[in-house]
Amino acid sequence: MTVAVVRGVHIHYEILGESGPWVALSPGGHRDMSGVRGVGELLAQHGVRVLLHDRRNCGASDVAIEGEESEYELWADDLHDLLRQLGALPAFIGGRSSGCRLSLILALRHPGSVQGLLLWCVTGGPFAAKRLAHEYYGQYVEIARAGGMDAVCETPYFAERIVANAANGERLRRMPTSRFIEVFSRWRDSFLEGADLPVIGATAEQLRTIAVPTCVIPGNDRTHGRRTGETLAHLVPDSELHILEPEDQDVDVADWTGKDPDVAAVFSGFLAKRMAAASRHGSPAMESKAKPA
């Protein structure tokens, strides 16, 4: 695993594969890069280079609770800068759940840097917005108000961040509790504001402006409903919809253990078609070269 300084934050990353077009994959929730390693390893067997990374506040990367934007907007700009440092732009950008949200935001903020999108288990709807706003942010606002930053550091999530990166403990304990509450409250509210959007993080009008080829695999639960993925595929002009699970389950998050080969098969087929089309048209985007970080 390698570390790059990305917009002042130490980001841990790994590259799978040695040649071919670049694909960046991001996991759901606040999981580390292992959440998409299975899909990434399978894709790397099909002639692409796959970038995995621990986003800020995830895995072994730095905790950086700052900025005036939503956390997923910060993640999108971080990934764009990391890809730029690696000489990996333009790239195919993909992810599951919150990684899907990151990918959409990156495509909207940096459209010239994206060759295509690989999206699965798309998040949307009032239930998802309310549930995730509390899980990711609201509960920590309550903990900070009750016990300050020491109590925040003792939660399982932040305790893991400190074990993975000892400097995170000092960084968190130095942070004023009021500032932590301010930022996490804003990030919570940005989630709640997405309750009525077609997908959390983007309006219908924004999705219609995405001009790159997009592959969508809907989820099948109350947080990542099939209809949300279908709506996304309908709104993005150049999109393909692939249904792996036709029936939604009445659970918060369905278990997709064992589905990595199915997801990778859909994406590898999509990439093969798009790379063949780009090759016929002599696209220079397919020939990006890696640079040392």
pLDDT at 181: 98
Residue 46 has pLDDT above 50, yes or no: yes
What is the four-CA torsion angle of 269, 271, 276, 277, rounded to 10 degrees? 110
The model carries a pTM of 0.94
pLDDT at 282: 64
Q: What is the pLDDT of residues 160-173, one digit of tens each?
A: 999 999 999 999 99
pLDDT at 292: 39
Residue 206 lies in a domain: no
Residue 63 banded pLDDT, cuts 50, 70, 90: very high
Residue 267 lies in a domain: yes
pLDDT at 281: 67
pLDDT at 288: 43
What is the four-CA torsion angle of 47, 53, 55, 58, rounded to 10 degrees? 130
Is 243 in the same domain as 118? yes
* Mean pLDDT, residues 218-242 taken together: 98
- DSSP-based three-state secondary structure for 18: coil
Window from 29-33, 140-144, 289-293 with minimum mean pLDDT:
289-293
* Mean pLDDT, residues 183-191 taken together: 96
- Count up the domains in the chain and report the number: 2
Is 136 in the same domain as 76? no
The β-bridge relationship of strands 9-16 and 2-6 is antiparallel
Q: How many CA atoms lie within 13 A of 226 on its CB side?
A: 10
Is 137 in the same domain as 165? yes
Is 153 in the same domain as 9? no
Please indicate whether residue 8 or residue 67 has the higher confidence score (pLDDT). 8
Q: What is the pLDDT of residues 253-263, one digit of tens each?
A: 999 999 999 99
Return the CATH number at 250: 3.40.50.1820
Query: Which range of residues forms the domain containing residue 140?
Result: 129-191
